[in-house]
Structure 1
Amino acid sequence: MNTVSPPAGRVTRRKLVCALGAGLATPLLSGCAARGYEKLPPPTRSGSRLDFVFPKGDSYLDISNAHTGERTALRFMKNGRTDRRALQRLDWLFRDWRDGEAPSIDPRIYWGLAALSDAVRRQGHSGQITLLSGFRTPQTTRLLQSRGGGAASNSYHMRRRAADIQFAGIPTEEVANIAEWLQVGGVGRYHGSDFTHIDSGPIRTWRG
């Protein structure tokens, strides 16, 4: 099913605060996270706006993978409880599509994306997300580096804690502004390639 994206528009910080205040055939790959990956941190981070906003909002996500064409639309939390099957479907969408490896993604990434999506839907946009890059294996990282893609050797993508995204109808700068306000973690603005990077590492910002 295709959706029609609203025209691009600004989501100001004032509008964001008002909006958030108002609301204040997929494989099941259990066990993939045990393949030698580091233990993920808890999804909560004391004192961040995301930890205050997300529980009051909607966990609905509508995400398309730009490389595979797959689309997943679901809620990954219901009545305060995590839906493990929903997370498994999201983890598969976020897999390294080059080799099919799909370990568990840090739930905080999904928290951040849901809060972003909820905020822009309150402003009349679809909230639909295009995923450009989720999990990446070391092999994929080396491949991208060999092609001059600028992938970092210590990338949070390899640690299952990052996503490169576009929001339908929302300019990159505005997506980054909301993510930065939410204190999701790392926020990178890549205007040349027209995407926003978020990760669940320390709070910081940069331009690529």
Structure 2
Amino acid sequence: MLLGDDERAAPAIGRRGFLGFAAAAVSAAVPVASGMATSVAARVVTGGVVTGVTAAPVLLGSESAEAAPLAGGVRRLSLHNINTNERFDGVYWADGHYKPEALRKLDVLLRDHRAKQVCRYDPRLFDLLARVHQSVGSDDPFEVICGYRSRRTNAMARRRSRGVAKESYHTRGMAIDIRLPDTQLRAISETAKTMQGGGVGFYPRSGFVHLDVGPVRSW
């Protein structure tokens, strides 16, 4: 897994909040209406099969980005995880609902392959990606540099870079580092900023743009 710099520090969840979240996070994936908060569960994957459940903290509150509307009756994404060479190209939202099977496939594609853990992603991030892709007019899939990071992987990244936040949105299923082969990074960054959908980090030397659905901010 390629580990680059990360977003500015995310708010700590706290022990009480974590315990409350962990009790709710174990439930199976269900369709989520646009703009609603999602609980997150990290599931251990062995040989491509989910074998257990561990909690992955997430904060979705009044300071978090709201889901943004997209034109048309369907929403689709095309992603290429350059770490695992896995791809997703399909519809993840249709007929007014997120498609559970598509969301599960996206969660697996964005897993922490080092720790063999899958995190249930906040689908608002997929909406943000779809809007950015639509706005820049790209014909290529997003190349995923980094998706979910387990606490252990995030701690490793922090030892390598002081720019990695301890309470990273990557550990909450709310962030992704991406690029588009046919689009300049600055164009992706500037387009994402206009969306006002969360955090946008521009890393030209590392070769990616960070997007998250936390509070609206940029760096």
Cα 1:60–1:127 shift into 2, 3 Å: farther
Hey, which of these two has a bigger chunk of strand by percent? 2
Identity score, percent: 30
Structure 2 unaligned residues grouped into runs of 5+:
1-46
Does residue 197 (structure 1) correspond to residue 207 (structure 2)? The answer is no
Whether 1:41 aligns to 2:60 is: yes
Residue correspondence of structure 1 range 119-138 to structure 2 within 5 A: 119-121=135-137, 125-138=138-151
**Structure 1 residue 82 displacement after superposition:** 1.2
Aligned residues: 171
SS at match of 1:59: strand
The 1:30–1:166 alpha-carbon spacing in structure 2 relative to 1, beyond 3 Å, is farther
State whether residues 74 and 95 of structure 2, in contact with CA within 8 Å, keep that contact through their aligned partners in structure 1. Answer: no
Instruction: Please list every run of 5 or more consecutive structure 1 residues that lacks an aligned counterpart in the other structure.
Output: 1-25
Q: Which residue among 54, 69, 73 is the counterpart of 2:89?
A: 73
Supply the distance in 1 between the matched residues of 2:183 and 2:136 (Cα, whole angstroms). Answer: 8
Return the structure number with greater relative CO, CA threshold 8 A, min gap 6: 2
The aligned runs of 1:14-25 (5 Å cut-off) are none
* 1:120 positional shift: 2.6
Give 1:64 shift. Answer: 0.6
Q: How does 1:123-162 map to 2 (within 5 A)?
A: 125-148=138-161, 150-162=163-175
Is the CA contact 2:73–2:94 (under 8 Å) kept in the aligned structure 1? no
Question: Quick check: which one's helix share is greater?
Answer: 1
Contact 2:147–2:176 (8 Å) recurs in 1: yes
**Letter of the aligned partner of 1:170 in structure 2?**
T
1:42-100 per-residue CA deviation (whole Å, 9 max, x = no partner) reads: 8xx78x6x62x325475211101111111111110112221100000000011011021
Structure 1 length as normaliser, TM-score? Answer: 0.73
Separation in 1, partners of 2:192, 2:211: 7
What is the root-mean-square deviation of aligned Cα atoms in Å?
2.5
Query: 1:96 aligns to what SS in structure 2?
Result: coil
TM-score (norm 2): 0.70
Q: Partner amino acid for 1:71?
A: R
Q: Equivalents in 1 of 2:128, 2:161: separation in Å?
A: 29
